[in-house]
A and B are shown apart, each in its own frame.
Chain A
Amino acid sequence: MAVQILEIIIFPGFLFLTVFAMIAEYLDRILYARFQNRKGPPWFQPFADFIKLVAKEDIVPECANPFVFKLMPILALASVITASFYIPMWDNKALFSFEGDIIVIVYLLTIPTISFFLGGWYSRSLYATIGAMRNLTQLFAYEVPLFLAILSPAILAHTWSLSEMTVFFNNHLWLLPFNIIGFAVALIALLGKLEKVPFDIPEAETEIVAGSFTEYSGRLLAFFRMAIDIEMVVGASLVAAVFLPFGLGLNPVLGFILYILKVVFVIFLLALLRSVFARLRIEQMMDFCWKYLAPAAFLQIVVCVILKGVLL
């Protein structure tokens, strides 16, 4: 029991994730800057930003519902951290696992978006309201392709547990290349989930200031930003665990290094994608996700079903 609590709080739980998320944010920002021919921030910038925000005053708008307004950042942060406990990172086994934990992970990763929506909606600001509407509209666009993309390797492995899935793929490494479509779909959907260019529609600063976060300040904003950073790491870990599960369970140190490399690779791809596109409009994003991304995810499922029938 004591060991588990220690694991949850320190390693690989809350503290480790926080530090790693900040490093990931730094990596994302410096890569984005280098792609744009800029110098980029110094390594301690995310830490400095966090400390600065935490030290500032929390302002709750007069018309806002203070309970929901203050609850949402904490809910977002809690749900992404909880999701990380079910993802096998450098071992075949996650901190906790049971048959069906994939659904729990996807569900827990949806909560931040819902909390952005509620936080924006209950802050009663005009820009936040529009941002909140866009949050929710966008959710319907990327969630289905993401879910389908993660589902198809599960069909192939015939399990609903992420940990067992990684065990299966470690025994059948030659099956991994067949999931490449799903990998691409999951990456693009992850961009939508993390609200990054070209899908940063809910917080398009030139249109609606900061979207749902317009009224947030101080500690609450710091928690929201922390939740987004951790969501990036957890999302990248999920993609790595589902589509790049090789080398797990060999050696804890090697596995750990490999895990960091995989996450950095996914972050690299995300930074590359977001530096070469312009922001789409919300209806263009819906079009794109339902016309191209969802069919591609279906194609992945068909490939997996056929593979399962023919080869296994």
Chain B
Amino acid sequence: MSKLTIPIGPQHPALKEPECFIITVDGERICEANMRLGYNHRGIEKRCEEITYIQSAYLIERVCGICSHSHSTAFIQAVEEIAGLEVPKRGLYIRTLFGELERIHSHLLWLGVAGHEIGFDTLLMYSWRDREIVMDILAMVSGNRVNYGMNSIGGVKRDISPEQADAILKAMDDLEERTKYYIELGLQETTLIKRLSGAGSISYEDATRLGAVGPTARASKVDQDVRRDDPYAAYAELEFNVITDDHNDVYGRTLVRLGELMESYKLVRQLIKNMPDGPIRKKGPRKIPAGEAISRYEAPRGEDVHYVKANGTDKAFRVKVRAPTLANLSAVSKMLEGDYLADVPIVIAAIDPCFSCTDRMAVRNIRGGATEMHNPGSLRNFSIDWYRRRGIDFTDLNKKLMKRLERV
């Protein structure tokens, strides 16, 4: 069989989000892998320039459905830094607690997705069942399963009662027991090890050169973790280990995530035990003084970077979001080279991708060489023109449709 080019995406059962990987295969082996980004641009950054900081905090939380707390914390940290706000200790602890609970639910989710990608649906069903425990905890405290709405400029919105703290501690015990079972499974189950090891291999040198972050990098022995290297929130006062692994492949990434789950349980226990009394928030100003700040946050998928520039009004002058998936994507094409076609889904899934969170773009006219910014109206006209040049006229179709509707 000669070389075949297979498009994985933008719509494909292996991908939960629109993204296109163009894979050239020779039989079952991959010769080349290319990717195309930008199918789900939502214009969040631009919108943040038009709404107030308080509204932006809600919008930024919706960058990602899984690591929503990560994005909102990273953004609010930057705003607080510009405003010079001192957040009360208890507020920081609750913020950190939510960050860790979110990491637990994200990693359990990943474990299930990974199981599904390698055709091990039993693992998917088991880990997602156990994930419900932590989802219930999050819903109990914040009222929401995702997009908790806990952060506000100057602290957090809801306090944790002693009963809730007890429930969290009990849930941690259950989850720890389950995670130990998964670790045992990961170390013993033959087909699991066979499928995961060797897939998506990337060396330490390549991982650092291509700027991989988070568990993807840590599985290649890159010892980096923002929580330890540049502590934010309450992490400076907590004890935890940064899990690394030298397998370099998807199996290593699985072990790192399972190890991080165990560390997260430890962290949650410490946070509950050492939680100081006092207020949970300090009222922040509506207008943020001029200035700029970069905020780093260790999201479950890796380092999340937010940049905020303020100009003294109640609206941000510029907001920039760099989601961790973007940092990991360049490593993916390297990982895929020389692998089997069967490994494509799991290798892509192993960076725990969040493509929709990653998409940031400006529409550019390449032929003209000039960069054009489109607003929604001009983008609409552009698309009407584009289709008309290809012989599809939506204005006619629209008229026909209207006529038919009138008849009905």
Contacts and interface: CB of A to CB of B under 8 A. Distances in A.
Contact of A280 (B115, B194, B341, B345): B194
B45 to A, nearest CB: 32
Given A130-B6, A197-B119, A207 B1 contact: no
Contact of A36 (B6, B125, B195, B341): B125
Interface residues on A, range: 20 to 34
Contact of B342 (A36, A275, A281): A281
Contacts of A27: none
B189 A283 contact: no
Interface string B111-134: 000011111111101100100000
A206 B121 contact: no
Contacts of B341: 130, 207-208
A197 B120 CA distance: 8
A36 B121 CA distance: 8
Contacts of A127: 6
Interface in B336-357: 340-345
B191 interface: yes
A35 B122 CA distance: 8
Given A206-B14, A207-B344, A278-B195, A37 B120 contact: no
Interface string B15-53: 000000000000010000000000000000000000000
A126 interface: yes
Given A37-B129, A206-B14, A207-B342, A279 B28 contact: no
Contacts of B1: 133
Contacts of B126: 36-37
B6 A206 contact: no
A129 B5 CA distance: 12
A279 B123 CA distance: 12
Interface in A259-291: 275-284
Interface residues of B, number: 31
Contacts of B119: 197-198, 200, 204, 206, 278-279
Among B1, B119, B341, chain A packs the most CB atoms within 10 A around the CB of B119
A205 interface: yes
A283 B28 contact: yes
B236 interface: no
Nearest to B340: A281
Nearest to B8: A207
B125 A197 contact: no
Nearest to A280: B191
B170 interface: no
Contacts of B342: 201, 204, 207, 279, 281-282
A241 B377 CA distance: 71
Interface string A108-126: 0000000000000000001
8 contacts: A37-B126, A130-B4, A207-B341, A208-B341, A209-B12, A277-B120, A279-B120, A280-B194
Given A127-B6, A130-B341, 12 more contacts: A36-B126, A37-B129, A126-B6, A206-B14, A207-B345, A275-B121, A275-B122, A279-B195, A280-B191, A280-B195, A281-B340, A281-B343
4 closest A-B pairs by beta carbon, nearest first, are A279-B119, A278-B120, A36-B125, A206-B14
Interface of A: 35-38, 126-127, 129-130, 133, 197-198, 200-201, 204-209, 275-284
